[in-house]
Chain A
Amino acid sequence: MMQLGAESVFVGSGIFKSEDPPARAKAIVSAITHFDDPAKLAEVSYGLQTAMKGLDMAEIPEEQRMQERGW
C-alpha cells in the first residue's frame, strides 16, 4: 500500500486478533517505515506467531460487505 502511494496505514483486527499483538504491532510499524526495502521487510517478519485468520472477500455475500456502505 505504501508503494502504491498511501501516506499512512490503518490496521484493524490484524494486530489484536493475532497470537502476539505486541510483536506484530512492532513488526507492522517497522514494515511501514521500511516499505521499500524487501530485505528489511523479511527481517522484521522473523519470529512472529500466527496472524489473524482472515476471510476471503469472495466468501462474504455482497450485502454483508461493509465497504459498500455509504454514498
Chain B
Amino acid sequence: MEKGSFEVKVGLAEMLKGGVIMDVTTAEQAKIAEDAGAVSVMALERIPADIRADGGIARMSSPQVVKEIQGNVSIPVMAKCRIGHFAEAQVLESLGVDFVDESEVLTPADEHNHIDKHAFKAPFVCGCRDLGEALRRIGEGRPQLCGRRYRHACGRVPDDAARRRKCFRRFGHL
C-alpha cells in the first residue's frame, strides 16, 4: 500500500482506538505518559492551561523538544501546528511526527484557510464543532477528528457533552 495514502492514514488513526492521548511538554513527561499506558503523546510548547494563563502568541511545538520526546518513547508522537500554517506542518512532517495536529489551541495563522492536508504524507488530527466543520476537515484530507472544548483547560463538561452528542448523532446519520 502506498505510503501516505488516505487508507494508510485512516489505518494509523484506527490504531489509537480505545486509548488515551496525553499532552506533554518534555521528554520526561512523555515517558510518564507512556509508562501510564497512553497510546500516543501530543508534543506541545505549553499545555493549554498555561497558554491561556500566559497569553501572547502560541506557536508550533519546538523541533528540539519533539526530537527529544521521539527519542524517549516508543509510542506514536503527535505535535501541534497553528491553523493554516502549512510551513510549520512541513517542518513537523520532516521531523517524522506520527500525526500533525492543526490545532485551535495555538494562535491561528490564517483566518480563511486551513492547511491543504492532501499535500502531506503525515496524517492530521483536528478538532471540530459540528458536522459541517468535520466534513470540511475531511475534505482537506484529515482522517481523525476530535470534538472540541475538551482541550481548552476549562474542565466544564456540559458544553462538551452537548457538542459531542450533536456531532456523534450526525455522524451516525451518515
Near B by CB (< 8 A), chain A positions 1-53 give 1, 4-17, 21-22, 25-26, 28-30, 32-33, 52
Is the Cβ of A66 less than 8 Å from the Cβ of B104?
yes
- Count how many chain B residues have C-beta atoms less than 8 Å from C-beta atoms of the other chain: 54
Provide the bound-state CA to CA distance between A64 and B36, in Å: 32
**Contact of B49 (CB < 8 Å), options: A9, A52, A58:** A52
Chain B hits for A7, CB < 8 A = 16-18
Instruction: Name A1's closest neighbour in chain B (CB-CB).
Output: B164
Tell whether A22 pairs with B159 under 8 Å between CB atoms, given A10-B150, A29-B20, A67-B104.
no
A63 contacts the other chain (Cβ, under 8 Å)?
no
Chain B hits for A29, CB < 8 A = 19-20, 36-38
Residue-wise, chain A 47-71 has the 8 Å CB interface mask toward B (1 for contact) of 0000010111110100011111111
Chain A hits for B47, CB < 8 A = 12-13, 16-17
Provide the bound-state CA to CA distance between A4 and B23, in Å: 22
Is the Cβ of B21 less than 8 Å from the Cβ of A9?
yes
Residue-wise, chain B 134-149 has the 8 Å CB interface mask toward A (1 for contact) of 0010000000001111
**Contact of A25 (CB < 8 Å), options: B19, B36, B50, B150:** B36
Provide the bound-state CA to CA distance between A12 and B105, in Å: 10
Residue-wise, chain B 1-35 has the 8 Å CB interface mask toward A (1 for contact) of 00000000000000011111111110001001101
Q: List 21 A-B contacts (CB under 8 A).
A: A1-B150, A5-B172, A7-B16, A8-B19, A8-B20, A9-B150, A12-B150, A15-B22, A15-B23, A16-B24, A22-B35, A28-B22, A29-B20, A52-B153, A52-B155, A55-B154, A55-B156, A56-B156, A57-B149, A66-B148, A66-B152
Other contacts beyond A10-B22, A52-B153: 9, CB < 8 A: A6-B147, A7-B18, A12-B49, A12-B150, A16-B23, A21-B29, A26-B37, A57-B156, A67-B148
